[in-house]
Amino acid sequence: MKDIKSRFLRFVSSKKINVFALFLALSFTILILNKLSRTFTNTITFSVTIVNIPETFVVLNDSSQQLNVTLKTYGFKFLRYYLSNPRLTVDYEDKLNLTDSTFSWNQQRSYSKINDQFDKDVELISISPDVLEFKYDENATKDIPVVLNKRIQFSPGYDVLDGFTITPDTIHVVGPEKILNALTQIETVPLELTDVHLNINQFLKLELPKNKDHIQFSHKSVRLTAKVETFTEGVFNIPVTIKNVPKNLSLKYYPKSVSVSYYTNLSGFKDVLEKDFKVECDYEKHLDNQSYLVPELVAKPGTVKSAKIIQQKIEFIITE
């Protein structure tokens, strides 16, 4: 037994096995080439692509349509079809009939066009089915706003004054009217930034709807920009005015002015003026059992990002 095992090991390690393997591989290759050079008749399933569709139409089920085509050719030709996803184009202009929601394609009208898509050494034997039914819808167009999906945290003392700019801020969409009617906005992919103290300038992809196969989008990404600046706070004492007081009433109120704190960029701090703020109380908004009015900030400079009134009540008494 050991003698047989040692002989086998010597045979494997010798050059004879290499020569044997080489001849075996060559024989197998010659056999395969001989097979592929023969003529065969076989049926191949082709996916269908529709051409010359009117721009106002969108086909809803073209990916599920297939043609079973029987061909006669060399094995080499068939090998190409088996190694890839074979496709054929059918012409919308060869339609058999048209309804409000479907159109039919007839292979008898398109036989020559199908045949022209094969090489001359490929013989077209038959095509089935004879007729393909396609569902379609009429395209509609719509401009849909882009919404920024963000979670941004700025470094202390930093913020944006003019907000975020999305370019473009609306997307032109073409597709079936039923699908477009359900679209009211398109969000960006979520954006999360922390400790932001530099200007923002980046591209964001859009969260396109799941049924996007039948929809054309003018853009699939947008550009987000924002100018990040240093911010500071300031406080002004602003006089209070009261409006809509009945003519037969006379009011005394206190305080006559309120403190307003505001938040603005450091570079524009000196341009913020007290006269650009305005605080009012509307007498018509007070309740009968209340002895105070609520002040409202009705005007502030455009360079101020936010502002708030520190005192929330203006006490008053009626003197006739």
Average pLDDT value for residue range 81-94: 80
Q: In the CATH scheme, what is the code of domain 39-129?
A: 2.170.120
- In our burial notation (b when 16+ CB lie closer than 10 A, e otherwise), range 140-160 reads bebebebebebebeeeeebbb
CB 60 within 8 A of CB 135: yes
Three-state SS at 159:
strand
The proportion of the chain whose per-residue pLDDT surpasses 90, expressed as a percent, equals 39
Q: How far is CA 101 from CA 21, 136, 138, 215, in A?
A: 63, 6, 9, 18
By percentage, how much of the chain surpasses pLDDT 70?
Answer: 84
pLDDT above 80 (res 82): no
Closest C-alpha to 165, from 217, 202, 207: 202
Indicate the CATH number for domain 139-226: 2.170.120.40
Non-local CB neighbours of 271 within 8 Å, separated by 6+ positions? 301, 303
Range from 49-58, 147-156, 172-181, 216-225 carrying the lowest mean pLDDT: 49-58
Q: From CA 256, how far away is CA 249, in angstroms rounded?
A: 18
Distance CA 16, CA 10 (A): 10
Identify whether the C-beta of residue 105 lies closer than 8 Å to the C-beta of residue 114: no
Strands 131-147 and 186-187: parallel
- Considering the chain, tell me which residue range(s) the CATH 2.170.120.40 domain(s) occupy: 139-226
Mean pLDDT of the chain: 83
Among the residues of 145-195, which ranges form H helices?
Answer: 177-181
Contact between 285 and 236 (Cβ < 8 Å): no
Structure tokens at 147: 């919404």
Question: What are phi and psi for residue 211, nearest 5 degrees?
Answer: -90, 45
Of 32, 115, 106, 118, residue with least CA distance to 75: 32
pLDDT of residue 23: 54
Q: Looking at the domain that runs over 232-319, which CATH code has it been given? A: 2.170.120.30
Is the pTM value of this prediction over 0.95? no
